[in-house]
């Protein structure tokens, strides 16, 4: 897949916001673990990454996706808060990732918070969109209420929050799409286990991000 046709609406929004407003940064994490589903997806797509997550801070302390709820049960999946030190990420120390920043407006950020709260409050309602994964294989979007797979969820919640996305239905979104999305600013690529040490060496953390956005 080549470069996508994307708009610069997010960047325009940032440039046009009032001086009293601050731009907010959120983070898109695409990753590849050693699990069987991840290996199958990589083999099928020929892509380096197989999973997509949405993080609300640079240190990935608050991160969400649709994935397995229990470490040893790949078929019990749904909306979860992910932790890079536990679960699948904590077990698979060789997990590779690519982390990128997306700058959004204050209004988009507030909308995103509201929409995330709905997922968190009713997380028992949301199920994994297994049929949707099969649909992607045949380039046919299968979108069912309360059912998402990881990249579909990230696309959906950003679009619902007012973020201008790439030209594709949520049910066809893949990790690859986020890898080549022009609006994202890559900040790290390598082993997930080394990411926080990388931030520390670069002097980057949530507080430094807040100071930068306040300038």
Q: Is the pLDDT of residue 168 over 90?
A: yes
Report whether 66 contacts 79 (CB < 8 A).
yes
Confidence of residue 34 (pLDDT cuts 50, 70, 90): confident
pLDDT digits (tens, 9 = 90+) for 118-166: 999 999 999 999 999 999 989 999 999 999 999 999 999 999 999 999 9
Find how far residue 50's CA is from the centre of its chain. Answer: 11
pTM of the model: 0.85
**Alpha carbons 67 and 95: distance in angstroms, whole number:** 15
Q: Is the pLDDT of residue 207 over 80?
A: no
Q: Is the pLDDT of residue 8 over 50?
A: no
Q: Is the pLDDT of residue 9 over 50?
A: no
Q: Is the pLDDT of residue 16 over 90?
A: no
Least confident of 2-6, 67-71, 84-88: 2-6
Where is pLDDT greater, at 199 or 5? 199
Q: How many CB atoms lie within 10 A of CB 94?
A: 10
Complete domains list, the chain, with CATH: 9-202 (3.90.1720.10)
Q: What do you get for the CA distance between the two ends of the chain, in Å?
A: 37
Number of alpha carbons in the 13 Å side-chain half-sphere of residue 172: 9
Of 198, 169, 158, the closest CA to residue 65 belongs to 158
pLDDT number for residue 26: 98
Confidence of residue 45 (pLDDT cuts 50, 70, 90): confident
pLDDT number for residue 66: 97
Q: Is the pLDDT of residue 6 over 50?
A: no
């Amino acid at each position: 897949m080549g470069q996508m046709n994307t708009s610069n609406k997010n960047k325009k929004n940032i440039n046009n916001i009032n001086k009293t407003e601050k731009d907010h940064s959120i983070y898109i994490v695409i990753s590849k673990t050693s699990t069987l589903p991840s290996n199958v997806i990589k083999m099928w797509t020929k892509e380096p990454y197989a999973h997509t997550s949405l993080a609300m801070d640079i240190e990935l302390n608050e991160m969400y996706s649709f994935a397995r709820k229990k470490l040893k049960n790949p078929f019990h999946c749904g909306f979860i808060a992910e932790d890079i030190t536990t679960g699948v990420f904590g077990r698979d120390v060789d997990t590779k990732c690519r982390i990128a920043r997306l700058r959004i407006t204050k209004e988009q950020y507030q909308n995103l918070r509201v929409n995330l709260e709905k997922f968190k409050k009713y997380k028992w309602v949301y199920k994994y969109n297994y049929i949707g994964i099969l649909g992607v294989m045949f380039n046919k979007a299968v979108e069912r209420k309360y059912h998402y797979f990881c990249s579909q969820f990230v696309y959906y919640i950003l679009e619902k929050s007012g973020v201008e996305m790439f030209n594709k239905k949520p049910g066809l979104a893949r990790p690859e799409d986020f890898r080549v999305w022009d609006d994202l600013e890559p900040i790290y690529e390598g082993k997930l286990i080394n990411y926080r040490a990388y931030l520390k060496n670069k002097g980057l953390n949530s507080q430094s991000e807040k100071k930068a956005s306040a300038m």
